[in-house]
Amino acid sequence: MRNVFLVYMPLRNAEAMAHYEDTIRKKVSLERIAHFVSPDLRARLQEVFGSHDVAVLGSVAGQMNRSFFDKMTEGDDLLIVEGDSIKLIGKIAAKTVNADLSRDLWQPIGREQSPPWELIYFVANPRELNVPFAEFCNLFGYAAHYQLRGFTAVSEEKLGLFYDKFDDLYSVLVRVKQGEPVLEKSYPPRPKQANEETAKERLLAEIHSDDVDQVLRSDLVSDHVKMQWKLANLGLKAGERVWVPAGDQAKLRTLYQFETFDRQFASGIDLPHSYVENIDVVWKQEFRIDAAYEIENSTAIYSGLLRFADLMILAPNTIYPMFIVAPTERKNRVREQLTRPTFRQMNLCGKVKFLSYEAVEDIDEFFSGSSSGLNVDLIAGKAEKIC
């Protein structure tokens, strides 16, 4: 269960809003930060943010602020509230107590010398929301006119009640912003595996990284890995970080000399990793998933949909797109599986799109010499809703 921290910025606090503009919206280069932090922290920021600039905020080191700051851990949620609206949500990537960095980042405004914001936290996945704070109060059981002040944290009791009912706070608030219903978690029976996989399909589904020689002799799996490689490459061109299952990484290295994938999934993603780490390709940014792809030519289509169904049970408010990637001739088979009673009851058809091999090949060819304009929305536009 992730902590949730709240930073309140009064509408008329010119200094706070100027600092927000300077280091949250405009962000800060890692090179600038590196002069003031330890080698270990510098390496961690490099690991999380890569070459991207970093969103940074801080608080004055009072006793109460320090008590909340000490509770902060990687992956915790941070909300910045301006007036009566949630201005931004992000994830805590790291933190440091550093008066020198504070003075470099945030110059005082006006004649008075204000205390440095030396309790510094680095914010991953910042997204401006502009959602009424009253919506947050309703979700967490605060009084309708609860008055937020300064820097604080949601109590464990309120967090427990929220996460008993809902999944990812970010997804829930984005749904609120978009006017979509917020769904509570439910636990329908997990559908049993269909007895439709051939012995060869079951064998191929169980191949691990140590079986590379066997993989190289299988045309079906070679096509599967080729599509993983293409989707991984397209992810990098779209400015995404890329994850492929640990058992497939050796295949990409051997067949395509591809190694630009994350070595670990991400500790800040609010799902049991076993449900996500085995998805064929995941595009992500720091601690958030941007798209998930299941490639289905060497295993029964049912298996990929079952992974997505598990995710929808655990995280019904999921907002990132999910794709079944398969040859065009398998589209009708995907449609048949999506209309199974269990999947239909979960509205999986409303969440999962069909992305043909041919569409991936076309996108890959079009962006062979460029990446301008390539993003998740473009991929979604080339995919089909088939039921």
Is pLDDT at 348 greater than 80 in this prediction? Answer: yes
- CA–CA distances in Å: residue 283 to residues 33, 153, 294: 27, 30, 12
Output the pTM of the full model.
0.80
Tokens standing for residue 145? 């006119």
Closest CA to 249 of 282, 225, 284: 225
* Tens of pLDDT, residues 265-316: 764 465 555 667 889 999 988 888 899 999 987 556 777 888 888 888 878 8
Average pLDDT in the 353-373 region? 93
Which of 91-95, 180-184, 186-190, 275-279 is the most confident on average? 91-95
Q: How much of the chain, in percent, has pLDDT values that exceed 70? A: 86
Is pLDDT at 253 greater than 60 in this prediction? Answer: yes
- Average confidence score pLDDT of the chain: 85
pLDDT, residue 340, reads 87
* Tens of pLDDT, residues 53-90: 999 999 999 999 999 999 999 999 999 999 899 999 99
* Tens of pLDDT, residues 206-245: 334 444 444 444 455 588 899 999 999 999 999 999 999 8
**Stretch (H or E) spanning 41:** helix 39-49
pLDDT, residue 374, reads 94
Contact yes or no for 367/361 (Cβ under 8 A): no
